[in-house]
Structure 1
């Protein structure tokens, strides 16, 4: 156990040296590449203004997203009414999608329990 801890410490020290050596140049390069996205002046007030704009823009987009959701729901209802005409491929894709959703749910539960399969702490 102690040897693993020393190994982790050595790796962390090595990583921090790399960041200290290259971090500043990477930061400058990143800002230069994305200067069109930087708002001037970079103040707290400007950040608050942008945060408010993002919030209210997203709030204003709710009716459009709700309308799109209703269209998707109508499509699913139509498919359900005409389920006898579905092709095997479509049913297979839907089954795989459902299986994937269930798998993500299971993985999320396992992660939420701290990667314990049974959920019990030993």
Structure 2
């Protein structure tokens, strides 16, 4: 156990040295590569302004998304009215979508319980 601890400490020391020698260069390279995303001047006030712009831009996009939702719902209603003309491919896609929704629901329940499986007898 002591040898594992010494190995871990040695690797941590090597990683720390690597970051201290190459970290600054990586940081500068990253900033230079993404320079077009940086707002001038880079201050807290500018960050506050950008966060407000993001919030209100998203709020302004709600009516468009609302209309798109109702168009999709109308399309589903149309498909349901004419379900006799439904193709096998469309039914398969709908079934896969329903299965995916159910799988995400189950995964969310498992994550919500702290990754424990309860109520299942194996």
The aligned runs of 1:42-81 (5 Å cut-off) are 42-81=42-81
CA positional deviation for 1:15:
5.0
Cα 1:17–1:86 shift into 2, 3 Å = farther
Q: Specify every segment of 5 or more residues in structure 1 that has no aligned partner in the other structure, as ranges.
A: none
Structure 2 distance, partners of 1:113, 1:17, is: 40
With normalisation by structure 1, the TM-score equals 0.81
Q: Between Structure 1 and Structure 2, how many residues are aligned? A: 117
Q: Which has the larger radius of gyration?
A: 2
How far apart in 1 are the matches of 2:45 and 2:26?
27
- Measured in 2, the distance between the counterparts of 1:107 and 1:41 equals 43
Change (3 A) 1:106 1:22: farther
Q: CA RMSD in A?
A: 2.6
Q: How many Å separate the matches in 2 of 1:39 and 1:49? A: 11
State the 4+ residue runs in structure 1 displaced beyond 6 angstroms. Answer: none
- Determine helix, strand or coil for the equivalent of 1:117: coil
C-alpha displacement of 1:114: 1.3
Does residue 99 (structure 1) correspond to residue 99 (structure 2)? The answer is yes
Task: Compute the displacement of 1:18 (Å).
Answer: 4.5
The unaligned stretches of length 5 or more in structure 2 are none
Q: Aligned in 2, Cα 1:118/1:17: closer, same or farther, shift over 3 Å?
A: farther
Distance in 2 between residues matched to 1:69 and 1:94, nearest whole Å: 17
Q: TM-score, normalised by structure 2?
A: 0.81
